[in-house]
């Protein structure tokens, strides 16, 4: 598995991990166990997903040593002023004594507490409770403000990113500032994207599936990617993307699918705290 270097202490993140959004707690253990068996070592959950306990059961039941795993969870929007308690709650549900990566889930501009929340994450990092800290759904403006007002530059920004919404401007800002880009909904949530004829053509050319073509595009762009599936055959399919290469013209054909369309909320206006 390819790994990418984070900007803190030489910590490496697997470039491809397993996402568990919308996987109910009682199914999360089965899905994560299947992912670990298929070779995934990085798992992405969040307090919001209400499945940290299920993820924790899979980790506890696995023979994979803790130091080979990379576990990410996220601070929910209502917890920006109680970072330490929220973090401890997540660790307890996951059954872990440290975390690999902790993210602020959304900036929540109306609430305007993300700088305070970031200082909380900085404390956890300095105390050695988490190996790396980052953000999710932060705009360039949000990142610039953090960099002006706080000490540590986020390791990673997890954002919506897929061929219909490639986020070139945010990626360029990340690259210029040593921040890794992590793509959420990398497969466009498996909706219309995977039926695009251009992807079908590339799938036939490389003897792969449209999902594998899209994941390979992410890998070659340098994104960290966290596809989700609860179907064991797809879980295996989605990690099997390291043994073929897209040509520059293939990358351009996928680039042409840009419609500048989001599937999820716009961080500039998303203010949900409940
Ligand atoms: P995704 O793009 O990974 O798509 C998942 C869906 O695609 C599956 O439910 C399935 O229907 C389909 N699919 C998966 N593999 C397939 C295959 N091989 N062939 C055909 N169809 C396939 O969408 P996602 O779950 O929204 O995003 C991935 C992860 O990103 C989440 O699980 C979560 O961990 C994270 N995420 C984070 C945020 C955030 O705000 N930070 C928001 C959304 C998602």
Backbone angles phi and psi of 53, in degrees to 5: -65, -40
Q: What is the pLDDT of residues 142-196, one digit of tens each?
A: 999 999 999 999 999 999 999 999 999 999 999 999 999 999 999 999 989 999 9
Among residues 154, 170, 185, 151, the alpha carbon closest in space to that of 263 is found at 185
Q: How many angstroms is it from 84 CA to the middle of ligand 1?
A: 29
Is 49 among the residues known to form the active site?
yes
Indicate which residue's Cα is closest to atom 25 of ligand 1: 228
Which residue of 45, 165, 185 sits with most ligand 1 atoms within 8 Å of its CB, as the best mutation to test the pocket? 185
Indicate the pLDDT class of residue 9, thresholds 50, 70 and 90. confident
Please give the distance, rounded to the nearest whole angstrom, from the Cα atom of residue 126 to the centre of ligand 1.
32
Among all chains, which residue has been given the structure tokens 């990626």? Answer: 171
Report how far apart, in Å, the C-alpha atoms of 43 and of each of 114, 131, 140, 273 are.
24, 15, 26, 24
* Distance (Å) of CA 179 to CA 46, 216, 220, 250: 20, 20, 17, 26
List the one residue out of 132, 139, 137 whose CA is nearest residue 102.
132
Rg of the chain in Å (alpha carbons):
18
Looking at the whole model, is its pTM more than 0.85? Answer: yes
């Amino acid at each position: 598995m390819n790994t990418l270097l984070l900007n803190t202490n030489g910590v490496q993140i697997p470039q491809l991990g397993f996402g568990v959004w919308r996987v109910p707690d009682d199914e999360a253990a089965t899905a994560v166990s299947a992912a670990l068996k298929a070779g995934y070592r990085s798992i992405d959950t969040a307090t919001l997903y209400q499945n940290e306990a299920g993820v924790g059961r899979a980790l506890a039941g696995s023979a994979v040593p803790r130091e080979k795993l990379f576990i990410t969870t996220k601070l929910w929007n209502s917890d920006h002023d109680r970072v330490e308690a929220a973090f401890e709650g997540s660790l307890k549900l996951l059954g872990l004594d440290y975390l690999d990566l902790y993210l602020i889930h959304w900036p929540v501009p109306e609430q305007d507490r993300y700088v305070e929340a970031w200082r909380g994450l900085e404390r956890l990092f300095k105390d050695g409770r988490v190996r790396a800290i980052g953000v999710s759904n932060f705009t360039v403006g949000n990142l610039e403000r953090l960099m002006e007002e706080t000490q540590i530059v986020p390791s990673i920004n997890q954002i919506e990113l897929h061929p219909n919404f490639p986020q070139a401007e945010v990626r360029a800002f990340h690259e210029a500032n040593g921040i890794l880009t992590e793509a959420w909904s990398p497969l466009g949530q498996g909706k219309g994207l995977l039926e695009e004829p251009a992807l079908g053509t590339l799938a036939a050319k490389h003897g792969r599936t449209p999902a594998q073509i899209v994941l390979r595009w992410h890998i070659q762009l340098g994104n960290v990617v966290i596809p989700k599936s609860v179907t064991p055959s797809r879980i295996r399919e989605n990690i099997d993307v390291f043994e073929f290469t897209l040509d520059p013209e293939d990358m351009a054909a996928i680039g042409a699918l840009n419609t500048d369309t989001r599937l999820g909320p716009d961080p500039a206006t998303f203010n949900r705290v409940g």
